[in-house]
Chains A and B, each alone.
Chain A
Amino acid sequence: MIKSKQDKRFEVFASVVMVIVMFIIIFPFVLLFISSITEEKTLLINGYSIFPEKLSLAAYEYIWNSRDVIFRAYATTVGVTVIGTTLHVLLVALVAYPLSLRRLPGKSVFNFLLLFTILFNGGLVPTYMIYTTVFHIKDTYFALLVPNLLFSSFNAIIVRTYLRTNVPSELYESAKIDGASEFRIFREIALPLGKPIFVTVAVFAGLNYWNDWTNGLYYVSDSAKYSIQQMLNVMVKNIQYLTQFGRAPTSGSIPSVGLRMAIAFVAMLPILIIYPFLTKYFEKGITLGSVKG
């Protein structure tokens, strides 16, 4: 198609606007990083700035000095994310595969039981009361893991639909005729053929666990079990929480403001690093889950 002058002008306009939008998106990240490497005094006197007078790695030095505490929280987040994501994908796959089969008797009952949890939610109060008074998960690692295990039953429905439309039922039938067990069919046909959707679900589950701070807020007050997000949450109110653990950096006092920013930066760094590789899964997940969230 031949582009008219007007088209060209519109393209330039679109590009300029989007460059500005990208700047608005990126700027807070840059500000956060720069303030984590700004010298504390400069930060307090001149304020947050993209071009600080004096840089300093004191915040990162302090992180290193109090690494027992921070790495512990980091390890908690990594552990919970890995275990939680694995269990989530497993639960979703195991429930979605049978529901994707047209022949399963009683399917509509199970479908309803699944769907109902999306439509009606008891809400925070009863959930909190049951978890704390019946299951006593307060201050245990279960508190970080269990309440989000099936954080979205939609994932099960999305996977079910995907398997139903993308795996030809002839494949299952011929495997059955060859005498394969249901578990074998699941493992050797449904899992490999559903791989793209399982990766997408895993990406969203992983993000959900990595960024989760609510379960920590509700159920965990033992600082030894803090996740990195909860550590950040506690530090908003109480910077002393962290400054009691490490030794002050060689150059002067504890950089309290810079330290918060440094930990925030360290907490989101893994996500920012892997984001470019996972963009297509995020986009896919959004369009597949469509507007259902």
Chain B
Amino acid sequence: MTRQKKPLRLRAQRFKNYLPLYLMMLPAFIYLFINNYLPLSGLVLAFKHYTVQGGIWGSENVGFQNFMFLFQNKDTALILRNTLGYNLLFMVVNMVLGVTLAILITEIGNQRLRKLAQSSMLIPFVVSIIIVSYMVRAFLDPQAGLLNTLLKAMGKNPISWYDTSGPWPYILTFVNAWKGVGYGCILYISSIMGIDPTLYEAARLSGASKLQTIRYITLPFLKPTVITLLLLNLGRIFNSDFGLFFQVPQNSGLIMDVTQTLDTFIYRGLISLPNIGMTAAASLLQSCIGFMLVIAFNALTRKMSRENAIF
């Protein structure tokens, strides 16, 4: 008895010592419970025919019917194509631009210009996507937009941009790059700054040209950062930037074939009640595939560079 009592009391003492620390963590975990864990129970909606009377848990069970509807929906293939296609396109474009601009910025001789260029890269990053969509409107407005003014000045017919699908893949890629390149660029710049300058000096002494030093020193050093960024983005390939695809095309119906992605589809389904089951099914699939991809690509990242992995 006495033998058992002692560790128990010790344990109680230990717990009492750490109690303030647990109390400190309590608010955050209560919050995570409400915001992150409780909603997981709502995932059952994917298997239910939701009615307002029935609520989340009381509605009729329908098994995999919602998933059947989702796969029979003629738009599903299109939505997947857009979500994956744009993500891949954005990844490549932003990577190439980010690396190029980072190298150019670090090569600028004038200190003040270099600092100015570096800090301007993030300005679009801090502006809300709604304001970006206003700016895009100033270029694309069918009557008063800058692009149509230019077209008219060149004697060409104006284009009704918000009703024409063709140019939108380019427009969205451009807007996404304009807003997002700075983020990667800052990362690449900090990697470049971490390269030992004596490497460059040695290369120059042995007669390497500027382009050769970039090709054989800078790029190989950037490779791990580039690859980790790509891997982490691949883990999120089923998630699209809701703001970009919802706000920038201004919810225009005629170009939906090139602007609808999983996230806009889920939002639009959510606000039209009859579709909530199918939307919940899409949402659940997105979460599960996203989870598996993050785990898989994180494992790859760990192999590449331990410190860049999420866990």
Q: Is B276 part of the contact surface with A, judged by Cβ < 8 Å?
A: yes
- In the bound complex, how far is the Cα of B263 from the Cα of A128, in angstroms? 14
Give chain B's interface residues, CB within 8 Å of chain A: 14, 18, 20-22, 24-25, 27-29, 31-32, 34-43, 45, 55-56, 101, 104-105, 107-110, 113, 116-135, 138-139, 141, 143-146, 148-149, 178, 183, 186-187, 190, 200-201, 204, 209-211, 225, 228-229, 232, 242-243, 247, 250-251, 263, 266-267, 270, 276, 279-280, 283-284, 286-287, 290-291, 294-295, 307-308, 310-311
In the complex, what residue of chain B is closest to A212 when comparing beta carbons? B128
- In the bound complex, how far is the Cα of B21 from the Cα of A186, in angstroms? 9
- In the bound complex, how far is the Cα of B276 from the Cα of A128, in angstroms? 11
Establish whether residues B21 and A104, one from each chain, have CB atoms under 8 Å apart when the complex forms: yes
Task: Pick from B105, B131, B211: contact of A14, CB below 8 A.
Answer: B105
Q: Is A58 part of the contact surface with B, judged by Cβ < 8 Å?
A: no
Q: Is A244 part of the contact surface with B, judged by Cβ < 8 Å?
A: no
Cβ of B38 to closest chain A Cβ, rounded Å = 6
Establish whether residues B284 and A123, one from each chain, have CB atoms under 8 Å apart when the complex forms: yes
Establish whether residues B43 and A126, one from each chain, have CB atoms under 8 Å apart when the complex forms: yes
Establish whether residues A182 and B24, one from each chain, have CB atoms under 8 Å apart when the complex forms: yes
Which B residues are in CB contact (< 8 Å) with A134? Answer: 38
Establish whether residues B27 and A130, one from each chain, have CB atoms under 8 Å apart when the complex forms: no
Cβ of B284 to closest chain A Cβ, rounded Å = 7
- In the bound complex, how far is the Cα of B149 from the Cα of A31, in angstroms? 14
Segment of A67-75, A245-253, A261-269 engaged in the interface with chain B? A261-269
Establish whether residues B28 and A95, one from each chain, have CB atoms under 8 Å apart when the complex forms: yes
- In the bound complex, how far is the Cα of B192 from the Cα of A36, in angstroms? 40
In the complex, what residue of chain A is closest to B191 when comparing beta carbons? A287
Which B residues are in CB contact (< 8 Å) with A46? Answer: 144, 149
Secondary structure at the A interface, as helix, strand, loop or mixed, is helix
* A48 with B141, Cβ < 8 A, contacts A25-B120, A98-B21, A117-B36 known: yes
List the 3 shortest-distance A-B pairs measured between CB atoms, nearest first: A126-B42, A95-B28, A211-B128
- In the bound complex, how far is the Cα of B135 from the Cα of A268, in angstroms? 12
Establish whether residues B144 and A43, one from each chain, have CB atoms under 8 Å apart when the complex forms: yes
Which A residues are in CB contact (< 8 Å) with B133? Answer: 236
Q: Is A21 part of the contact surface with B, judged by Cβ < 8 Å?
A: yes
Establish whether residues A95 and B24, one from each chain, have CB atoms under 8 Å apart when the complex forms: yes
Establish whether residues B127 and A211, one from each chain, have CB atoms under 8 Å apart when the complex forms: yes
Which A residues are in CB contact (< 8 Å) with B209? Answer: 6
Establish whether residues A118 and B310, one from each chain, have CB atoms under 8 Å apart when the complex forms: yes
Residues 260-288 of A, flagged 1 when their CB comes within 8 A of B and 0 if not, give 11001001100110011001001100110
Which B residues are in CB contact (< 8 Å) with A6? Answer: 209-210
Establish whether residues A123 and B286, one from each chain, have CB atoms under 8 Å apart when the complex forms: yes
Task: Pick from B34, B123, B138, B148: contact of A32, CB below 8 A.
Answer: B138
Task: Pick from A18, A21, A35: contact of B138, CB below 8 A.
Answer: A35
List 15 additional A-B contacts (Cβ < 8 Å) besides A97-B21, A133-B55, A211-B127: A14-B108, A25-B123, A28-B132, A28-B138, A31-B135, A43-B144, A47-B141, A98-B24, A122-B43, A207-B126, A210-B128, A236-B247, A264-B134, A282-B125, A290-B308
Establish whether residues A48 and B149, one from each chain, have CB atoms under 8 Å apart when the complex forms: yes
- In the bound complex, how far is the Cα of B25 from the Cα of A97, in angstroms? 9
Cβ of A144 to closest chain B Cβ, rounded Å = 14
In the complex, what residue of chain B is closest to A44 when comparing beta carbons? B144
Establish whether residues A18 and B294, one from each chain, have CB atoms under 8 Å apart when the complex forms: no
- In the bound complex, how far is the Cα of B36 from the Cα of A115, in angstroms? 11
* A25 with B121, Cβ < 8 A, contacts A98-B21, A126-B42 known: yes
Which B residues are in CB contact (< 8 Å) with A121? Answer: 36, 287, 290
Establish whether residues A26 and B39, one from each chain, have CB atoms under 8 Å apart when the complex forms: no
Cβ of A250 to closest chain B Cβ, rounded Å = 24
In the complex, what residue of chain A is closest to B197 when comparing beta carbons? A1
Which A residues are in CB contact (< 8 Å) with B42? Answer: 122, 125-127, 129-130
Cβ of A93 to closest chain B Cβ, rounded Å = 9
Establish whether residues B32 and A150, one from each chain, have CB atoms under 8 Å apart when the complex forms: yes
* A110 with B29, Cβ < 8 A, contacts A98-B24, A126-B40, A229-B130 known: yes
Which B residues are in CB contact (< 8 Å) with A123? Answer: 266, 283-284, 286-287
Establish whether residues B134 and A32, one from each chain, have CB atoms under 8 Å apart when the complex forms: yes
- In the bound complex, how far is the Cα of B108 from the Cα of A237, in angstroms? 44
Establish whether residues B210 and A7, one from each chain, have CB atoms under 8 Å apart when the complex forms: yes
Establish whether residues A22 and B39, one from each chain, have CB atoms under 8 Å apart when the complex forms: no
Task: Pick from A32, A119, A275: contact of B294, CB below 8 A.
Answer: A119
Which B residues are in CB contact (< 8 Å) with A293? Answer: 232
Cβ of A138 to closest chain B Cβ, rounded Å = 13
Establish whether residues A1 and B31, one from each chain, have CB atoms under 8 Å apart when the complex forms: no
Residues 10-33 of A, flagged 1 when their CB comes within 8 A of B and 0 if not, give 110111011101101110110110
